[in-house]
Amino acid sequence: MTLLTILLLAGITFLTRYLFLHPSLPVKLGPKMEHFLSFSAPAVLTAIWVPIIFVRDGQLNISAQNPYLISASIAVLLALKFKNVYLTLGVSLTVFTLLKIYL
């Protein structure tokens, strides 16, 4: 039953993506809908990262002892200054790992 559910969900996901991505299919979105959908990726990503960084054990955690907040702050600063994904990722992951070990 679980395998059937996974296969059905995979099929539904594929079909919904295929309808919009295949060039020969006549599905066209209007400019207002395209503008509206342009906000979906940032909204979903924000809904993912905000609880990871700011919530610990169901409580808001913005202390100096929060390794997620410190590492995310460093990642933002590095990304703004250097605009290098690999540098940002490497340094922020190293800082996070060291903070998790020593805090």
The full set of domain ranges for the chain reads 1-29, 39-102
> 55 pairs with which residues across the strands?
60
What's residue 20's pLDDT? 77
If you average pLDDT over every residue of the chain, what do you get?
93
What's residue 29's pLDDT? 81
Q: What is the mean pLDDT of each run of 10 residues along the chain (103 residues)?
A: 94 88 79 91 94 95 96 98 98 98 93
Which residues have C-beta within 8 Å of that of residue 89, sequence separation ≥ 6? 75
- Three-class DSSP labels, 38-72: CCHHHHHHHHHHHHHHHEECCEECCCCCCHHHHHH
Residues 69 and 62: beta-carbon distance below 8 Å? yes
The one-letter amino acid at 20:
F
